[in-house]
């Protein structure tokens, strides 16, 4: 089985989607992200990937009230990311209802802080966000690419007990042209023992089937749901 994880990206409190992380491509799908979360819950989905895009751009958690509202009004298990760059941000995320926190930029730029969070909260609570372009890690809302190769990066954190990894191929994100199947197969082949979650480009149910067959732990689905290339009701067949 593969975890089906719908995505909600938030700008100024609204549910939006971008293409390849470009804010100029913003398209608003709902003025109230809770409405979308309730739709996901009605479709019997159990999880939610919630991203604070304002936070990612400004370097601090901003849309925590959206997290709190969805947490209070649904039973969805929420993994939250975007702008988590301090102990205070981490505390806000958990206090507002995050089941897990997705850490990206800080894991690259402040490794010791990431390891401290991993030690304090445990590997079940911290997700390593690995956003990549040409197999190199990107940070700060995908505005800065580092000379760090994905496989090396993942090995470095696996040694310290990381379990969950959300890997986004930026070139695929929001493009509705299929996910990075080859990249994910490479990661699973070279970094054993992690729970790899695919993100970016998922367009059809066939994409989900291929990811499941490849051994992915989960898949994040965003624009495909909003644009209707994947119907929520048809995702039930992947649910436990």
Residue ranges per domain, the chain? Answer: 3-238
Catalytic residue ranges: 9, 131
Mean pLDDT of the chain: 92
pLDDT in tens, 199-221: 999 999 999 999 999 999 999 99
Do 108 and 148 contact (CB within 8 A), yes or no? yes
Confidence at residue 166, expressed as pLDDT on a 0 to 100 scale: 97
Confidence at residue 143, expressed as pLDDT on a 0 to 100 scale: 58
Interatomic CA distance for residues 139 and 146, integer angstroms: 8
Interatomic CA distance for residues 24 and 46, integer angstroms: 31
The tally of CA atoms less than 13 A away on the side-chain side of residue 119 is 8
Mean pLDDT of 162-179: 85
Q: Which of 22-31, 66-75, 153-162 shows the lowest mean pLDDT across its residues?
A: 22-31
**For the chain, percent of residues with pLDDT exceeding 90:** 78
Mean pLDDT of 15-39: 89
Q: DSSP H helical segments within the chain, as ranges?
A: 33-42, 53-58, 64-73, 87-95, 105-109, 111-121, 150-158, 181-190, 205-214, 223-226
Confidence at residue 18, expressed as pLDDT on a 0 to 100 scale: 82
Confidence at residue 42, expressed as pLDDT on a 0 to 100 scale: 97
pLDDT in tens, 50-92: 999 999 889 999 999 999 999 999 999 999 999 999 999 999 9
Mean pLDDT of 23-48: 94
* Distance, C-alpha 10 to centroid of its chain: 13
Mean pLDDT of 130-158: 83
Confidence at residue 147, expressed as pLDDT on a 0 to 100 scale: 75
Confidence at residue 37, expressed as pLDDT on a 0 to 100 scale: 98
Q: Which of 25-39, 133-147, 172-186 shows the lowest mean pLDDT across its residues?
A: 133-147
pLDDT in tens, 98-127: 999 999 889 999 999 999 999 999 999 999
* Distance, C-alpha 208 to centroid of its chain: 16
Confidence at residue 174, expressed as pLDDT on a 0 to 100 scale: 64
Confidence at residue 25, expressed as pLDDT on a 0 to 100 scale: 85
Is 230 a residue whose pLDDT tops 60? yes
Superfamily grouping for domain 3-238: Aldolase class I (3.20.20.70)
Is 8 a residue whose pLDDT tops 70? yes
Interatomic CA distance for residues 32 and 96, integer angstroms: 17
DSSP assignment of 136-167 equals: EEEETTTTEEEEEEHHHHHHHHHTTT--EEEE
């Amino acid at each position: 089985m593969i975890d089906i994880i719908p995505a909600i990206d938030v700008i100024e409190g609204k549910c939006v989607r971008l293409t390849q992380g470009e804010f100029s491509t913003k398209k608003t799908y709902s003025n109230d992200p809770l409405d979308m979360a309730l739709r996901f819950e009605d479709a019997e989905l159990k999880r939610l990937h919630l991203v604070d895009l304002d936070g990612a751009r400004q370097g601090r958690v901003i849309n925590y009230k959206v997290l709190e509202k969805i947490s209070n009004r649904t039973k969805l298990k929420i993994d939250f990311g975007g702008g988590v760059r301090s102990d205070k941000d981490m505390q806000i995320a958990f206090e507002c209802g995050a089941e897990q926190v997705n850490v990206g930029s800080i894991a690259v730029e402040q490794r010791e802080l990431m390891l401290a969070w991993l030690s304090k909260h445990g590997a079940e609570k911290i997700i390593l966000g690995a956003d990549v372009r040409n197999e190199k890690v990107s940070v700060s809302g995908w505005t800065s690419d580092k000379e760090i190769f994905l496989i090396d990066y993942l090995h470095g954190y696996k040694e310290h007990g990381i379990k969950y990894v959300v890997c986004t191929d930026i070139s695929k994100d929001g493009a509705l042209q299929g996910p990075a199947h080859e990249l994910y197969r490479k990661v699973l082949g070279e970094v054993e023992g992690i729970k790899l979650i695919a993100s970016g480009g998922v367009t059809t149910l066939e994409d989900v089937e291929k990811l499941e067959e490849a051994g992915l732990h989960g898949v994040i689905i965003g624009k495909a749901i909003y644009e209707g290339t994947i119907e929520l009701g048809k995702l039930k067949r992947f649910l436990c």
